[in-house]
Amino acid sequence: MQESKPKILVVDDEKGLRIGVQRLLEMEGYDVDVAENGIEGIELGTKKEYDLAIIDLKMPDVEGIEVLKKIKEKYPNTVCFIATAFASYDTAIEATKLGAQSYIPKPFTPEELLTEIKTGYQKRLHLLEEDKWRREREERLLEVAFEKTRLNTIINSITDGVLVVNKEGLAVLFNPAVLKFLELAEIKVEEYILDKLRPEILELINKFLLSDLKEKRSYTIQIELKPNREFFIEATASPVFHPGENLAGVVIVFKDITELKKIELIKSQFVSMVSHELKAPIAAVYGFLKIMSDEKIKLTEEQKKDYINRSMIRLDGLLKMVNDLLDISRMELKTIKKEIKKIHLSEIIKNILELFQIEIQKSNLSVDFDYQQNGLFINADADEISRLFTNIISNAIKYNRPNGNIFIKISQVGNFILTEIRDTGIGMKEDEKKKLFSEFFRAKNEFTKNVSGTGLGLSIVKRIVDSYSGKIEVESEFGVGTSFKIYLPVSLS
Amino acid sequence: MSDKKKILLVDDDLDLLEQNKILIESKGYEVITANSSKEGWEVFKKSKPDACVIDLIMEEYDSGFILCHRIKKDEHGKDIPVFILTSATYDTGFKFDASTSEEKEWISADEVINKPVVIDEFVQKLENYFEMKGK
């Protein structure tokens, strides 16, 4: 029930009747407005919504039928009565056609009026209730339709494949992405799909469909759809239950995990490569120890000394390799805290060259280094930059020819400091250049076989350069020499 | 002493070369060495060994394989046992596994021996070949 009083509009040109009805209804607890002619009646009746209206049929300006029409147009739920002394069958028909609740013949007794009004008011409440229901229903339908489109839009736009299969094996919901995972050209809604699936996927779905158990957990499988890791997928199936806990179907989500698998492969290849590289020095040291401890094998003191010495060299190389690997792993994990300072690059390179003095003299190399007093500065971690250039200069020495040259030049190019390090060494072939920065790659040929190294130096160089948003370029000619150009961002402060 | 069998050992790891030389010598063979496939071929032509043991992966990744192939096609080489030494398997990251029968066929060697060399097994295999040839 409405809290406020029922509102009634009385439209009648007859003053006595108007006031009489108003008084009677107000006494009964209604809220009454009156209009003394048709025009005023239309005005009031369309300005606000009344619960009920009693309209006199015959008025001098506008006919009561007209007033009824206008009010009903605006507020179809206002229950209207037509009151008239000139009762006729035709006007009654017309009035009810236009939506009048009933026809009150004048004169009427207060009881007759009140009974009509009460019935009319019940009708009014009923109309309002009906209206409310209708509106709610419409809203709900709209919402459901909206939800459905929204859900479809979402499902259709995700790149993972989604397939919902009901208990009978019909495809009830799916998105376009699922086609490539199922290797199908099309699926029709409500199509029987089980006979079109790969056995692995079918088995996955059947874990739920063929099982009496109320399995709540999901199952995941991985399938290599195209060999050589070209297309690797992961399918996860989960049960869908009706509210009553009965199995409704199965939802399967397909993911493309090709990239993941590729990374996994690279990782495991790296691990085997590391193992292989570590195995060689260990095997060598192991071999020497075995020979020396074998009583049946007679060795001279000289030989023993030589073998111990050679074992030490191999162990030393092993240690270097493990250290390099640790450095790479720290760089990958980013556990190294960079101590960024303003660095005088010429000074760093000068120090490195001093450390290599003995090696440089041994090969009788001449170094052409243009030390810049006023210097060019970069903001970086001194240890890392030192490591970077140590690795490159060390290569320039190791792979140089006797009596060769090393040129080092530092200059500014735009916002970068360019350090160019050129040697007159053995150089590289095109295919070797491509693999230069990959772990454990070492050019193997007549010239390099007596050069020791971990195969990790340039891989570390590349990582350091990348970490400073720098760039490294290599030019090389086999048998002539190699030139490295390292660009590092200039320090502006 | 002159009936000592002469074995050519080729490996670019000088330490392993020396160790295997000593091991094989300790079993009563004469061992001549080379530390590249190029040198291996030269020594082979010059000294005509009774058997060859070649490391598969040397300065160039497939040079041991090529040397093996050349020796097997040689007039002298075709009648002597040629062993390949390797630690290359799929497990160690190579795209090649000398332990599979298909790829063993592809290498023209008589035996593929895994590193490190188990000397007694090695000698046993070698002697089997010499015996076969002797008959």
Is the alpha carbon torsion for A315, A319, A325, A328 positive or negative? Answer: negative
Residues B41/B83, Cβ–Cβ less than 8 Å: no
pLDDT at B81: 92
Residues A75/A46, Cβ–Cβ less than 8 Å: yes
Task: Please list every residue in chain A whose beta carbon sits closer than 8 Å to the beta carbon of residue B58.
Answer: 444
Q: Which residue of A has its CA nearest to B92?
A: A272
Q: What CATH number does the domain containing B96 carry?
A: 3.40.50.2300
* 3-state secondary structure at position A28: coil
Interchain proximity B115–A294, CB inside 8 Å: no
pLDDT at A213: 67
Query: What is the CA angle A451-A455-A458, rounded to 5?
Result: 110
The CATH number of the structural domain formed by A265-333 is 1.10.287.130
What is the C-alpha radius of gyration for chain A, rounded to an integer number of angstroms? Answer: 47
Interchain proximity A297–B22, CB inside 8 Å: yes
Q: How would you class A160 by CB atoms within 10 Å of its CB: exposed for 0-12, middle for 13-18, buried for 19 or more?
A: middle
Could you give phi then psi for residue A463, rounded to 5 degrees? Answer: -65, -40
pTM of the model: 0.57
- Of residues B13, B22, B61, nearest to A280 (C-beta): B13
Q: What is the DSSP letter of A195?
A: G
In angstroms, the CA B53 to CA B115 distance is 12
Mutate to test the interface with B, among A426, A432, A444 (most CBs of B within 10 A): A444
Interchain proximity B23–A291, CB inside 8 Å: yes
pLDDT at A289: 94
Which of A25, A82, A76, A29 lies closest to A50, judged by CA?
A76
Interchain proximity A444–B16, CB inside 8 Å: no
| ipTM of predicted assembly, 2 dp | 0.79
> What mean pLDDT is predicted for residues B81-103?
66
Residue range(s) in chain A whose domain bears CATH number 3.40.50.2300? 7-134
Percent helix, strand, coil in chain A, to 5, is 45, 25, 30
Task: Please list every residue in chain A whose beta carbon sits closer than 8 Å to the beta carbon of residue B15.
Answer: 284, 287-288, 310, 314
Task: Please list every residue in chain B whose beta carbon sits closer than 8 Å to the beta carbon of residue A314.
Answer: 15
In angstroms, the CA A205 to CA A124 distance is 57
pLDDT at A4: 75
The residue to which tokens 């399967």 are assigned: A252
Question: Helices in A334-423 by DSSP H: which ranges?
Answer: 345-355, 357-362, 382-398
| Omega of the bond leading into B116 within 30 degrees of 0 (cis) | yes
Which of B127, B130, B128, B122 lies closest to B21, judged by CA?
B122
The CATH number of the structural domain formed by A340-489 is 3.30.565.10
Which of A382-391, B40-49, B89-98, B121-130 has the lowest average pLDDT? Answer: B89-98
Identify whether B34 is part of a domain.
yes
Q: How many CB pairs under 8 A join A and B?
A: 55
pLDDT at A2: 46
Residues A423/A475, Cβ–Cβ less than 8 Å: no
- Of residues A287, A448, A449, nearest to B19 (C-beta): A287
Residue range(s) in chain A whose domain bears CATH number 3.30.450.20? 159-256
In angstroms, the CA A272 to CA A277 distance is 9
Residues with Cβ within 8 Å of residue A217, at least 6 apart in sequence: none
The correct CATH number of A7-134 out of 2.60.40.10, 3.10.450.710, 3.40.50.2300, 3.30.1330.10 is: 3.40.50.2300
Residues A308/A284, Cβ–Cβ less than 8 Å: no
pLDDT digits (tens, 9 = 90+) for B9-44: 999 888 999 999 999 999 999 999 998 888 999 999
* 3-state secondary structure at position A88: coil
Superfamily of domain A159-256: PAS domain (3.30.450.20)
Interchain proximity B59–A446, CB inside 8 Å: yes
* 3-state secondary structure at position A111: helix
- Of residues A287, A294, A299, nearest to B116 (C-beta): A287
Q: Which residue of A has its CA nearest to B26?
A: A297
Mutate to test the interface with A, among B12, B22, B56 (most CBs of A within 10 A): B22
Task: Please state the domain count of chain B.
Answer: 1
pLDDT at A180: 92
Neighbours of A244 (CB within 10 A): 6
pLDDT digits (tens, 9 = 90+) for A301-353: 999 999 999 999 999 989 988 988 888 888 878 777 788 889 888 999 999 99
Q: Which residue has the higher pLDDT, A40 or B116?
A: A40
Neighbours of A54 (CB within 10 A): 29
In angstroms, the CA B126 to CA A201 distance is 53
What is the C-alpha radius of gyration for chain B, rounded to an integer number of angstroms? Answer: 14
> What's at A472, amino acid-wise?
I
- Of residues B19, B60, B93, nearest to A269 (C-beta): B93
Identify whether B1 is part of a domain.
no
Residues A454/A321, Cβ–Cβ less than 8 Å: yes
Task: Please list every residue in chain B whose beta carbon sits closer than 8 Å to the beta carbon of residue A438.
Answer: none
Residue range(s) in chain A whose domain bears CATH number 1.10.287.130? 265-333
Query: In b/e form, how buried is each residue of B49-80, taking b as 16+ CB within 10 angstroms?
Result: bbbbbbbbbbbbeebbbebbbbbbeeeebeeb
Q: Which residue of B has its CA nearest to A310?
A: B15
B130/chain A closest Cα distance in angstroms: 24
Q: Quick one: how far is CA A283 from the chain centroid?
A: 49
B59/chain A closest Cα distance in angstroms: 4
Residue B106 domain boundaries: 6-134
pLDDT at A311: 94
pLDDT at B79 over 60: yes
**Residues of chain A falling short of pLDDT 50:** 1-2
Interchain proximity B92–A283, CB inside 8 Å: no
Identify whether B16 is part of a domain.
yes
